[in-house]
Structure 1
Amino acid sequence: MSVHHGPANRGRRVLRTAAPLFVREPYGPPAGGAIVLHDVFGVTGYAEAVCRLLARQGRLAVSPYLYYESGGPAFEADELTVARAHMDSLTAQDVAADVSAALNYLAGRTVGPVLVIGFSMGGYLATWTAAHHAVQAAIAVSPSGPWAGMPPPEVLVADRRSPWLGVVGESDLLVDADLLGMATSTPGPPAALERISGAGHGFYRAGRPRYDAEAEEESWRRICRFLQKNTLP
């Protein structure tokens, strides 16, 4: 594993760099880039595993350490209250700058089209990315948010500049799937919402209470189908 700093300063802080990145290189020349946006627990082993998976598929994969200023890259399942406090300490300006910096880093590596995938709070950020940047596609798994000063996810979906896929458990009480589903019918790049039967919020988190292995496997199948049909070059 190698860790690199992003290439740009946060827009409103001249002396502080953007979030450093967890980076996984592909075995050969990159066939694209990927940004993995972590959930409330930070850059956990799961976020790193998703980066490794995408690197095996030929992408240069990065995951920004969004908590780098407030303490620690990741938290355990029994530290949810602490993790939420760190999530709440992030500002709209900072998370926007960190996502933009990760995109700039990949652009500087000339990797080609960039996929963005996020989980829970990272799913919201992936949706924000789809509305503000022309990326290959944005995938939002269990998207929850927003932060103060940022619009609700259904508004971002309606304003998308990139293909967008939401993946939501049918029992997820933290996501308004009906509003997201309606937003996908608005004009723009392809958009879809996939509901995973029986799954709750955070169903993808191995080793955590709501983990559902079958739901996680099914979600990846649907993600792959969407990417095969609905990505920008």
Structure 2
Amino acid sequence: MSAHAHGPANRGRRVLDAAAPLFVCEPGGRPVGGALVLHDVFGVTEHAEEACRALARRGRLAVSPYLYHEHGGPAFAAEELAAARTQMEELTPTDLAADVGAALGYLESRRTGPVLVVGFSMGGHLATWAAAHHVVEAAVAVSPSAGPWPGVPSVEALVAGRRSPWLGVVGGADGRVDADRLRAAAGRPGPPAAVEVVDGAGHGFYRKDALQRDGGLWPLIRDFMAGHRPPG
């Protein structure tokens, strides 16, 4: 497994004005699939990088776009929340669509096979947006809080209009995410969708689990995908 940064991931079919550079983790052998990790408000921190490494250890070619790349792709510490929120608020729907689309295009160009999208907090909103606009193996939104981007529909509206299987993972003590509203949206006709609640967990519980622990987030994701994998 190796990790490196990759330059703008333009697809070749069209020019993307703001395609974000990628943090890339290669699996040890031939990929069994791809993975797109969408970071939370703090940027591509060690947590996002370790999520990519954990997915690479499971055989996936994993990438995480530096969504703050126009400002040098910074990552912020927990005590820099105000500065991180400023960066988040400066993102535009056009640039976000280009960055997410280009990352998926890079994985497509590498012929990885099915792509799993995983997003945390604001990245959970973006993962849900991806599920509504792209056909992927599954989109997983962990603590999916609404981003402040005019023109991007709410998480619930995106779940209701999904094109891909969607899993929401919500902390039971998270006052920022309404699990009942997500369940109602997941019940709308469409590809499989579900909401899992982690008892007693607050909004940022995922920062203690970058998908590496067998008793953490990964079993929920694995079981959801296994339950909805097409036969054959």
Normalising by the residue count of structure 1, what TM-score does the alignment of the two structures yield?
0.90
1:65-85 Cα deviation digits (max 9, x unpaired): 000112443110110110010
1:110-144 Cα deviation digits (max 9, x unpaired): 11110000000000000000000000000000001
1:83-119 Cα deviation digits (max 9, x unpaired): 0100111011111110000010011111111000000
- Matching residue of 2:5: 3
* 8 Å CA contact 1:33, 1:61 repeated in 2: yes
**Residue identity matched to 1:220:** W
- Matching residue of 1:196: 198
- Aligned with 1:69: secondary structure? helix
Aligned-partner Cα distance in 1 for 2:229–2:134: 14
Is 1:222 aligned to 2:220, yes or no?
A: yes
- Aligned with 1:110: secondary structure? coil
- Aligned with 1:125: secondary structure? helix
**Residue identity matched to 1:19:** A
**Residue identity matched to 1:47:** A
Which consecutive residues of structure 1, in runs of 5 or more, have no partner in the other structure? Answer: none
The aligned length equals 224
Aligned-partner Cα distance in 2 for 1:95–1:182: 27
1:130-160 Cα deviation digits (max 9, x unpaired): 0000000000000011321110011100111
* 8 Å CA contact 1:203, 1:216 repeated in 2: no
- What percent identity do the matched residue pairs reach? 62
* 8 Å CA contact 1:8, 1:17 repeated in 2: no
- Matching residue of 2:57: 56
- Matching residue of 2:130: 129
* 8 Å CA contact 1:137, 1:232 repeated in 2: no
* 8 Å CA contact 2:39, 2:119 repeated in 1: yes
The Cα RMSD (Å) is 2.2
